[in-house]
Amino acid sequence: MPFLYQKRKFDIRSYICISSSNGYQKGYWYQDGYIRTASKEFNMKNLNNKFIHLTNDAVQKYHEDYGKF
């Protein structure tokens, strides 16, 4: 069973930049991130439903509930 947020699959996006100059390395973490959720609640009954199992915006934007959660 995957971790769920409000009964939906999700992923978290955050960003980090690692730079190197003259052998000195430094990392920068951008504190703001975002969470992407599936449009439909998770269940194992319909494994072929992309709106349940994928959080990709390229897939989710075609569902009527896109952006509501």
CB neighbour class for 25 (10 Å; exposed up to 12, middle 13-18, buried from 19):
exposed
Per-residue model confidence (pLDDT) at position 9: 92
Whole-model pTM above 0.75?
A: no
**Contact present, 51 and 63 (Cβ < 8 Å):** yes
Domain residue ranges of the chain, discontinuous segments joined by +: 10-60
pLDDT tens digit sequence for 5-39? 999 999 999 999 999 999 999 999 999 998 888 98
